[in-house]
Amino acid sequence: MSHPTQKLRLNALIALVVGSMIGGGIFSLPQNMAARAEVGAVLIGWVITAVGMLALAFVFQTLANRKPELDSGVYAYAKAGFGDYMGFSSAWGYWISAWMGNVGYFVLLFSTLGYFFPVFGQGNTPIAIGCASLLLWAVHFLVLRGIKEAAFINQITTVAKVVPLLMFIVIAAVAFKADIFTRDIWGLNNPDLGSVVDQVRNMMLVTVFVFIGIEGASVYSARAENRSDVGRATVIGFVGVLALLILVNVLSLGIMSQPTLATLQNPSLAGVMEHIVGPWGAVLISIGLAVSLLGALLSWALLCAEILYATAQDKTMPAFLKKENINHVPVNALWLTNVMIQVFLVITLFSASTYTTLIYLASSMILVPYLWSAAYAVLLSGRGETYEGAHHARMKDLLVGLIALGYAVWLLYAGGLKYLLLSALLYAPGVILFALAKREQGQPLFTPVEKGIFGCLIAGAGLAAYGLYSGVLSL
């Protein structure tokens, strides 16, 4: 971990944050938002998102500076504040969310290429899955060459994929029509959208998916050249991505009406661009999406391996996951991750609808690590730990932490009971690796409190299993 060639500078950390957040979500944002909300609710939702996610970004910045000994933040904060099992669960949920997101990126990539080559279809034809598998292992062996080398390539793809987005923003700003934007601000002509509160709640699910990756620099805190760069990269990357997301979403609502946007096929940004300038606009956006997804695949391959490596380093996961190759890459963690991706790529050949639901389910799992990070920031500032003689800073960080915690709780509510129960089915099997790690150390599996937490988890998994069996819940 301390090898000099593996240290990442500020620009590389920012690229990891931006590259992790800008994947396929922003290119589907116009349709995804329009299907759930009209202009007024969209604007309210973005204000809530901006405040909540900025608070979360500041939480990661504060914790990186005040707890420099805690590496791989999103996992380490949960463990430091709430014990081994909650730390493990955060890492486990984050890891599943990350690699299942990569499965989605592969399918969306080849679905986009299907615009040019029909043989790829919707990204889950046999040829598409075969090519996706080849690309998966190409990325795998690229990452094996070294963290710094892969991070450098990620910087290049991050720049390349932002250019088409900026072009869209400029062109859409010129073509923007106020009469389309204000035609039905609150969705009164479309009762299927529900009340304004319902619209805001439903669109918040989308904002969660497009912001996953905000913690990217924290995961790499141990490899940062300067520790202070971790927090700076998080905030800079977040602000830049937030601006892109809002502009893409809001400008689209001034180009095409909400009902029309809601019927577009994804990537819907290509449809909006084609509406403005013709077919070449769709081609430009499709190329930008392809580059974006390639960069996101690389970012998340790095993050998946790093989170398993970090948990194995401090014995929360089994020791075999901390093995590094000659280039200081966590090789076993990378192999385990990509084998799981390969398995689920094959599954998409036979069960596309179930796969799609599991992608959204896996994405919702990252809310738990976010919640525990915010809770740890509240715990730290509430106790006054590391704040000796700094009352003003303590009160400020406590307020920011409470805002981030409230936002995380709101997101769990927005996700709904269904996803909470179904996510228990994915969290529960992780206890096997946790048990192996505890056995290696000769320690008891759970503390009394953790037994209660695990009991609640098993109960949730049982309810989910029964709900699926009885048809009350569906995938």
Asked whether the predicted pLDDT for residue 142 surpasses 60, the reply is: yes
Say what the pLDDT of residue 8 is: 73
Say what the pLDDT of residue 174 is: 95
Return the minimum-mean-pLDDT range out of 89-93, 202-206, 332-336, 353-357: 353-357
Say what the pLDDT of residue 260 is: 93
Q: Is residue 316 part of a domain?
A: yes
* DSSP string of 157-174, one letter each residue: HHHHHHHHHHHHHHHHHH
Domain that holds residue 404: 4-414
Bridge partners, residue 324, by sequence: 330
Q: Do residues 56 and 374 lie in contact, with contact meaning Cβ atoms separated by under 8 Å?
A: yes
Q: Do residues 175 and 337 lie in contact, with contact meaning Cβ atoms separated by under 8 Å?
A: no
Say what the pLDDT of residue 436 is: 94
CA-CA distance, 312 to 434, in Å (whole number)?
Answer: 10
Mean pLDDT in the chain? 83
Q: Do residues 255 and 281 lie in contact, with contact meaning Cβ atoms separated by under 8 Å?
A: no
Q: Is residue 450 part of a domain?
A: no
Q: Do residues 63 and 373 lie in contact, with contact meaning Cβ atoms separated by under 8 Å?
A: yes
CA-CA distance, 207 to 214, in Å (whole number)?
Answer: 12
Q: What is the pLDDT of residues 363-419, one digit of tens each?
A: 677 788 888 989 999 999 998 888 888 888 899 999 999 999 999 888 888 777 788
Amino acid at 415: G
Q: What is the pLDDT of residues 162-215, one digit of tens each?
A: 888 899 999 999 999 999 999 888 988 888 888 898 898 888 767 777 777 666
Return the minimum-mean-pLDDT range out of 350-354, 377-381, 425-429: 350-354
Q: Is residue 446 part of a domain?
A: no
Helix (H) / strand (E) containing 468: helix 448-470
DSSP state letter for 265: P
Say what the pLDDT of residue 73 is: 61
Burial (0-12, 13-18, 19+ Cβ within 10 Å), 474: exposed
* Over residues 205-233, mean pLDDT: 69
Say what the pLDDT of residue 470 is: 87
> What is the tally of structural domains in the chain?
1
**Nearest C-alpha neighbor of 288 from the set 306, 270, 311, 314:** 270
Phi (first) and psi of residue 5, to 5 degrees: -75, -5
Q: What is the pLDDT of residues 274-317, one digit of tens each?
A: 999 999 998 888 888 887 777 777 767 777 887 888 888 888 89
Max avg pLDDT among 43-52, 286-295, 340-349, 350-359: 43-52
Asked whether the predicted pLDDT for residue 354 surpasses 70, the reply is: no
Q: Do residues 50 and 241 lie in contact, with contact meaning Cβ atoms separated by under 8 Å?
A: no
CA-CA distance, 152 to 56, in Å (whole number)?
Answer: 26
Residue 126: Cβ within 10 Å count: 10
Say what the pLDDT of residue 301 is: 78
Q: Is residue 458 part of a domain?
A: no
Burial (0-12, 13-18, 19+ Cβ within 10 Å), 221: buried
Q: Which two tokens stand for residue 158?
A: 């991050």
Say what the pLDDT of residue 5 is: 45
Q: Is residue 318 part of a domain?
A: yes
Say what the pLDDT of residue 387 is: 86
Q: Is residue 344 part of a domain?
A: yes
* Over residues 328-352, mean pLDDT: 86
Asked whether the predicted pLDDT for residue 343 surpasses 80, the reply is: yes
Exposed e or buried b for every residue in 39-77, given b needs 16+ CB within 10 A? bbbbbbbbebbbebbbbbbbbbbbbbebbeebbbbbbbb
Burial (0-12, 13-18, 19+ Cβ within 10 Å), 473: middle
pLDDT band per the 50, 70, 90 thresholds, residue 220: low
Q: Is residue 204 part of a domain?
A: yes
* Over residues 233-257, mean pLDDT: 89
Q: Do residues 330 and 318 lie in contact, with contact meaning Cβ atoms separated by under 8 Å?
A: no
pLDDT band per the 50, 70, 90 thresholds, residue 222: low
pLDDT band per the 50, 70, 90 thresholds, residue 355: very low
Say what the pLDDT of residue 146 is: 67
Q: What is the pLDDT of residues 1-33, one digit of tens each?
A: 334 445 777 877 777 777 667 766 788 889 888
CATH number, position 344? 1.20.1740.10
First to last CA, the chain: 41
Q: Is residue 377 part of a domain?
A: yes
**pTM exceeds 0.75 for this model:** yes
* Over residues 89-101, mean pLDDT: 86
